[in-house]
Amino acid sequence: MYLNIFKIGGNIVDDPKRLDVFLDTFSHCREKKILVHGGGTLASELCRQLGIPVEMNQGRRITGPITLRVAVMVYAGWINKNLVASLLARGCRAMGLSGADAGCILADKRKPEPLDYGYVGDLGKESVNVHYIQSILENGLVPVFSPITCDHAGQLLNTNADTIASALAVAFRGFYMVRLRYVFDREGVCCPGSEKPLSLLSRAQYEKLRDQGTISDGMIPKVENALCALEQGVGEVFIGNTCIRL
């Protein structure tokens, strides 16, 4: 049996039209499914309105205590509950979850050395509580995960949504045929000079394109996450409509 894990990020969450199209497609998928969502600009906007300075460390954002509060409010609160309510209105029995709920994804706070990223969670091999999430799926419900987890001491942690999606895919690979799809604002991985996305991208091709600088920036961790999930036994991984292969 298939389990479809869809991950959407800010470029979908922030765009009401794209989000509507996505939610229609998602709610029509008749197989088992999980939605993992990222942030969007609302958290940064709220930080700005509240006068919280953006703390960066070597180009990466630090999650201090107030930024954590904003992240939990926006991701686990506003975005998550709106997605759930919108899916419910489409007849899809969505169930909003953070990793804290029923302890279904427990993380460890990232070590402060060599760089202290603050309240950021990293996932390990035992992070995903497969048993509990499976009972939700088997009840015909659709888990909708916000990128918030917690540790064993009850500390909430901001966690990368792509990583949550791939950790779920890996955790469920022995139970279902897992299809992991990173949905974003383009149709897939494109090569320069071509509007049409690649239908297939192998690891060898990816390494070549990356070394040429054709695949760069944010697409690199996405493809590497995808390859990593495939290496760990996930059946199919798509970035947009581009199928990633080892």
Residue among 58 and 139 whose Cβ is closer to a second copy: 139
- The site string for a second copy over 124-143 (x = CB under 8 A, - otherwise) reads --------x--x---x-x--
- Interaction of residue 8 with a second copy, rule CB under 8 A: no
- Interaction of residue 205 with a second copy, rule CB under 8 A: no
- Interaction of residue 36 with a second copy, rule CB under 8 A: no
How far out from the chain centre does Cα 11 lie? 13
- The site string for a second copy over 55-94 (x = CB under 8 A, - otherwise) reads --------------x--xxxxxxx-xxx-xxxxxxx--xx
Residue among 69 and 203 whose Cβ is closer to a second copy: 69
Question: SS3 letters for 146-172?
Answer: CCEEECCCCCEEECCHHHHHHHHHHHC
Closest distance of CB 217 from a second copy, Å: 30
- Sign for the CA dihedral angle at 178, 183, 186, 192 comes to negative
Q: How far apart are CA 100 and CA 104, in angstroms?
A: 6
- The site string for a second copy over 158-197 (x = CB under 8 A, - otherwise) reads ----------------------------------------
Contacts (Cβ under 8 Å, ≥6 apart) of 115:
57, 58, 60
* Number of alpha carbons in the 13 Å side-chain half-sphere of residue 24: 6
Binds a second copy by CB under 8 A, chosen from 39, 101, 180, 189: 101
Q: How far apart are CA 198 and CA 166, in angstroms?
A: 21
Query: In which residue are the tokens 């409010």 written?
Result: 73
Residue among 43 and 178 whose Cβ is closer to a second copy: 43
Closest distance of CB 154 from a second copy, Å: 3
Per-residue b or e along 79-108, where b marks 16 or more CB atoms closer than 10 Å to that residue's CB: bbeebbeebeeeebebbbbbbbbeebbbbb
What are the residues binding a second copy (CB under 8 A)? 49-50, 69, 72-78, 80-82, 84-90, 93-96, 98, 100-103, 132, 135, 139, 141, 148, 150, 152-156
